[in-house]
Amino acid sequence: MSDLRVGVVGAGLMGADHVARLQGRIAGATVSAVIDPDTQRAEMAAQAAPGSTVFSGIAAAIESGSMDAVLIATPGQFHLEDLFTALDAELPVLCEKPLTPDPESALKVVDAEVAGGRKLIQVGFMRRFDPGYMELREIIATQPYGDLLALRCAHRNPSVPEGYTGEMLINDSVVHEFDVVRYLTDSPIAAVDVKHLKRNTNNYPHLNEPILAFLETESGVIADVEMNVSVKFGYQVKTEAVFESAIVEIGRTSGTTTWSDGKYSGSEHVTFKTRFQEAFDNELRRWVNAAKNGTIDGPSAWDGYLVAAACQAGVQALNTGQRVEVDYVPQPDFYK
Amino acid sequence: MSDLRVGVVGAGLMGADHVARLQGRIAGATVSAVIDPDTQRAEMAAQAAPGSTVFSGIAAAIESGSMDAVLIATPGQFHLEDLFTALDAELPVLCEKPLTPDPESALKVVDAEVAGGRKLIQVGFMRRFDPGYMELREIIATQPYGDLLALRCAHRNPSVPEGYTGEMLINDSVVHEFDVVRYLTDSPIAAVDVKHLKRNTNNYPHLNEPILAFLETESGVIADVEMNVSVKFGYQVKTEAVFESAIVEIGRTSGTTTWSDGKYSGSEHVTFKTRFQEAFDNELRRWVNAAKNGTIDGPSAWDGYLVAAACQAGVQALNTGQRVEVDYVPQPDFYK
Amino acid sequence: MSDLRVGVVGAGLMGADHVARLQGRIAGATVSAVIDPDTQRAEMAAQAAPGSTVFSGIAAAIESGSMDAVLIATPGQFHLEDLFTALDAELPVLCEKPLTPDPESALKVVDAEVAGGRKLIQVGFMRRFDPGYMELREIIATQPYGDLLALRCAHRNPSVPEGYTGEMLINDSVVHEFDVVRYLTDSPIAAVDVKHLKRNTNNYPHLNEPILAFLETESGVIADVEMNVSVKFGYQVKTEAVFESAIVEIGRTSGTTTWSDGKYSGSEHVTFKTRFQEAFDNELRRWVNAAKNGTIDGPSAWDGYLVAAACQAGVQALNTGQRVEVDYVPQPDFYK
Amino acid sequence: MSDLRVGVVGAGLMGADHVARLQGRIAGATVSAVIDPDTQRAEMAAQAAPGSTVFSGIAAAIESGSMDAVLIATPGQFHLEDLFTALDAELPVLCEKPLTPDPESALKVVDAEVAGGRKLIQVGFMRRFDPGYMELREIIATQPYGDLLALRCAHRNPSVPEGYTGEMLINDSVVHEFDVVRYLTDSPIAAVDVKHLKRNTNNYPHLNEPILAFLETESGVIADVEMNVSVKFGYQVKTEAVFESAIVEIGRTSGTTTWSDGKYSGSEHVTFKTRFQEAFDNELRRWVNAAKNGTIDGPSAWDGYLVAAACQAGVQALNTGQRVEVDYVPQPDFYK
pLDDT digit string, tens, across residues C10-57: 999 999 999 999 999 999 999 999 999 999 999 999 999 999 999 999
User: Looking at the predicted structure, is the pLDDT value of residue B118 above 80?
Assistant: yes
pLDDT of residue A2: 84
Task: Collect contacts of A328-331 with beta carbons under 8 A, ≥24 apart.
Answer: A328/B188, A329/B107, A331/A302
Residue among D126, A212, C61, C312 at smallest CA distance from B321: A212
Model confidence over C266-299: pLDDT tens digits? Answer: 999 999 999 999 999 999 999 999 999 999 999 9
Q: How many CB pairs under 8 A join A and D?
A: 25
Mean pLDDT of D25-38: 97
Interface test with D, best of C14, C84, C110 (most D CBs within 10 A): C110
Q: For residue A224, what is the enclosing H or E element?
A: strand A222-228
pLDDT tens digits for D78-124?
A: 999 999 999 999 999 999 999 999 999 999 999 999 999 999 999 99
Residue B80 has pLDDT above 70, yes or no: yes
Q: What percent of chain B has pLDDT over 70?
A: 100
pLDDT score of D325 more than 90: yes
How many other C-beta atoms are found inside a 10 Å radius of the C-beta of residue C278? 16
Which of A201, A239, A247, A323 to mutate to test binding with chain C, by most C CBs within 10 Å of its CB? Answer: A247
Whole-angstrom distance, CA of residue C18 vs CA of residue C13: 9
- Which of A109, A235, A317 is closest, CB to CB, to B270? A235
Contacts of A among chains (3+ CB pairs under 8 A): B, C, D
The confidence score (pLDDT) of residue B179 equals: 97
Residue of C nearest to D329 (CA): C107
- Which residue does chain B place closest to A26, by CA atoms? B27
pLDDT in tens, C172-211: 999 999 999 999 999 999 999 999 999 999 999 999 999 9
Q: How far is CA A278 from CA A318, B26, B276, in A?
A: 32, 11, 15
> Taking CB atoms and an 8 Å limit, are C202 and A233 in contact across chains?
no
Distance from CA of B333 to the nearest CA of C (A): 30
Predicted local distance difference test score (pLDDT) of residue D90: 97
Question: For residue D80, which of D64, D62, D104 has the smallest C-alpha distance?
Answer: D104
Q: What is the pLDDT of residue D2?
A: 84
The shortest CB-CB distance from A234 to any of B105, B114, B269 is to B269
Q: Are C168 and C240 in contact (CB under 8 A)?
A: no
**Which residues, listed in sequence order, are joined to residue B71 by a DSSP beta bridge?**
B8, B94
Quick check: B318 and A183 CB within 8 A? no
Beta-carbon separation of C231 and A244 below 8 A: yes
What are B240's strand-pairing partners?
B152, B249
Q: Tell me what pLDDT residue C241 has.
A: 98
Q: Cβ–Cβ of B263/C264 closer than 8 Å?
A: no
Q: Report long-range pairs for B163-170 (Cβ below 8 Å, ≥24 apart).
A: B164/B204, B164/B207, B164/B229, B165/B206, B165/B207, B166/A318, B166/B206, B166/B207, B166/B208, B166/B209, B167/A315, B167/A318, B167/A319, B169/A318, B169/B209, B169/B211, B169/B227, B169/B229, B170/A311, B170/A314, B170/A315, B170/A318, B170/B194, B170/B213
ipTM score of complex: 0.95
Which of helix, strand or coil describes residue A248?
strand
Share of chain B above pLDDT 90, in %: 99
Alpha carbon of C297 to those of A231, D93, D100, D111, D136: distances in Å? 53, 11, 20, 19, 19
- At position B34, the amino acid (one-letter code) is V
Q: Give me the residues paired with residue B191 across strands.
A: A325, B216
Across the range B126-139, mean pLDDT stands at 98
| Other Cβ atoms closer than 10 A to D330 | 5
Give how far C300 is from chain D: nearest CA, Å. Answer: 5
Q: Which residues of chain A have pLDDT under 70?
A: 1
State whether D263 and A267 contact (CB < 8 Å). Answer: yes
Best of A192, A293, A333 to substitute, by most chain B Cβ atoms within 10 angstroms, is A192
Say if residue B1's pLDDT is above 80. no
The residue-averaged pLDDT of D56-64 equals: 97
Whole-structure pTM value: 0.95
Helix, strand, coil shares of chain B, percent, nearest 5, are: 40, 25, 35
Looking at the predicted structure, is the pLDDT value of residue C1 above 70?
A: no
In a 3-state reduction of DSSP, which class is residue B131?
helix
| Residue contact B264–C263, C-beta within 8 A | no
| D210-252 pLDDT per residue, tens | 999 999 999 999 999 999 999 999 999 999 999 999 999 999 9
Nearest CA in chain B to C259: B268
Q: How close D261 comes to chain A (CA, Å)?
A: 8
